[in-house]
Structure 1
């Protein structure tokens, strides 16, 4: 009963992630291809996470698809967000996208380098913090903090419910990053 209950809780956490990411997708008004990358990535991961943790009820195995979406949510979400934030500088925007594609491609090829992936995630969080400082974006700081929680603290804490909830928190903060701007006096 304990494992089944954990799977139900994880499925519910992935539904929460879907709901928050869906709202992020619905609030977009620009024609950027990278910004929907983060929201769409989290939405797909939420759907596949729900199906994966309830696959016993559906008599299907969604583990391979879930593993790919987990890897994408880990390595591609922040680079997509940063690429959109730095869209005025095409070199920096491209650098952010490539920084996520390298560990993602390595993980898909079966050569997942966790240290390189953590370095890329940390660099993207630092870049987000720099952008937030440079442009007085309060929600950027919140997004960076939620990213630290989701990517570095939840794997250490254990329950499989925390990772999708950490991503939902990061998503909640990220889509406010584009809408709320606090000017310095």
Structure 2
């Protein structure tokens, strides 16, 4: 019975991820191919996660597709976000994309190098912190914090629902990086 409850909770968590990612997709306005990368990645992972955890009821096995989307949500989402944030500098944008493609490709061919993947995730989180600091984007800091929780803290637990919920939190923060920008207040005029 515990396994059924865990599967139901994980399915609901993946639906929450779909809803949050769907809102991120609906707010797209640019013509960049990397911008929908994070949002679409999380949306597809949410759909496949729901089907995977309900495969007993649906009498279908979605494990292979789910495992690919799990790796993509881990290795590709944050590099796509960073590539889009740095789209003005094509070299930096390409480096961010490659930082996700290399560990993802390795995991697809069965040579998953977890330390390399964690290093690339950490580098992208640090780059997001630098971007947030240099552009004064408050939601970038929140996204970086949510990424630390999603990628480094939630895998340490045995709860299947925690990873998709932390991805949803990361997604919620990430699409606000593009839309809300707080400038510091202007300096007061000098006294005469």
Q: Taking structure 2 as the reference length, what is the TM-score of the superposition?
A: 0.96
> How many residues matched?
185
Residue of structure 2 in register with 1:56 after alignment? 56
1:39 aligns with 2:28: no
Q: 5 Å matches for 1:149-168?
A: 149-168=149-168
Q: 5 Å matches for 1:106-185?
A: 106-185=106-185
Structure 1 moving runs of 4+ over 2 Å: none
Structure 2 unpaired stretches of 5+: 186-192
Question: How far off its partner does 1:184 sit?
Answer: 1.8
Q: Distance in 1 between matches of 2:121 and 2:70?
A: 14
Specify the SS of the correspondent of 1:140: helix
Q: 5 Å matches for 1:60-79?
A: 60-79=60-79
Q: Distance in 2 between matches of 1:174 and 1:128?
A: 10
Cα offsets for 1:5-37 (capped at 9, x unmatched): 100000000000000000000011111110100
1:97 aligns with 2:106: no
Structure 1 unpaired stretches of 5+: none
Residue of structure 1 in register with 2:190 after alignment? none
Q: Which structure has the larger Rg over C-alpha atoms?
A: 2
Question: How far off its partner does 1:144 sit?
Answer: 0.1
RMSD: 0.4
Question: How far off its partner does 1:157 sit?
Answer: 2.0
Question: How far off its partner does 1:58 sit?
Answer: 0.6
